[in-house]
Structure 1
Amino acid sequence: MAWLSTEFYFYKGSAPCRSVWMCIKALKVDVEEKTVDLLKCDNKRPWFVRLNPQHTVPVLSDQGYVLWESRAIMQYLCNKYATEETQHLYPTDPEQRGRVDRMLFFDMGTFYQAIKEYFAPKLYNGLPPDPDKENMLKQSLDYLDNFIDLDQGNYLLGDKLTIADFALLGSITELDALEYNYKCYGEVYKWSLKVKQELPYYKKCCTEGIEMQKTRIKALADEVRKAEEKARKASIGGKK
């Protein structure tokens, strides 16, 4: 029987991938790291679509068991690989786990969704963010700011790190890549700063991906400016 490995398919420029990568490092799961370059459309290649018909990243193939969706992957990894030392990442107590799940769903359905909707023009077309969606992002940051109580500990849900921290921190790194200033949300800013400083794997899992995203966004904006300048010159030339 062939030996099957655990493979992590990811793109460093993806915030959900960064979340899962931090979880993998925290659990010390031995994985084969396989880069899927979204800019080269690797996720649309037949071999990847066979792996994940939704052709999204991240994807985990754990000895032949394939799973996608970042939060589901983190839950699965904790369910399978957490030890007594790391069980705090996804507690087994129903009430504590419920609090973690609530934050995961808040991130997926409210916070990260607000980031994607507000910045969609910038992320995909190099245009300014959608002003009609800005209040949605600000409201979600207000919610998160009120959820965090650093008097109870350094993390989202008290004195223990959980996968909710990974999920929300991944979303925060997207704001970092988009150079969005959230310092006015005091609890969010202090929490994110503390976690970034404390996690020994934060730089490896996040720093390069943030810079990749910044570079991609700048390239898109440069393309738009060049096209606008070309159109402007053509318009002036046509008036002669």
Structure 2
Amino acid sequence: MTGLLTEADGAPVAVENPEALSSVLLICEHASRRLPEKMGTLGMSPEALSSHIAWDPGALAVSQLLVKSLDAALIYQRFSRLVYDCNRPPEAEAAMPPVSEVFEIPGNAAISAAERRARTEALYVPFRDALSGFISTRKTEGRPPVLVTMHSFTPVYHGRQRDVEVGILHDTDKRLAACMLAAAEKTKRYDVRRNEPYGPADGVTHTLIEHGLKNGLLNVMIEIRNDLVRDEVGQKVMADYLTGLLGESLQALSQ
């Protein structure tokens, strides 16, 4: 393997259950905190590299439970968003951020154009192509997928407590999000809000736009407060809840 990744690093993208019967395609851009061998530690402490700035804790675990409960496919990035955030386009500074919340990232300071290209080609392009290829195949088969991107967020951000527990995010296509919000309102099990703690203005809907809107596909982004999914019990409870929301919403949209 040439370029940024070594043979020991392995592939940048993982695909689970590609032959899934469900139309749901789960996407997890921030699944891992792992760094490629050649990147070292990016000049950061073990504490920073294990924190939410490096990945979305619990997002992959919940996604993998949804793979089973929904018979869904899953595509996720195998390396930390600190090296390349696959929910951002290459031209965005946030794709390779020099600062994340209170943490400076020395390894991302003053990155050369050549290094930006190397990271983009090693991590973003394969991820983008895996999504595009899966979507194209499903559309050709007459089974257009439903895109569900999975994320988690920290309960405290810049010193401020966040009360929202589950965010249902959308860009200009709010069909699936609206159904999920309506379903959530029936149970009031969690504090569920539209486009919180982030929204389109924060630049977080790149995947939804690039792969959902541009293909005319149903799409939604789910944000889970990570203290709710820090252990297996919490992950299972949340996966069961989201299974119900998605199932009810997709059934309503099919009628």
TM above 0.5, yes or no, is no
More helix by share: 1
Structure number, greater radius of gyration: 1
More strand by share: 2
TM-score (norm 1): 0.30
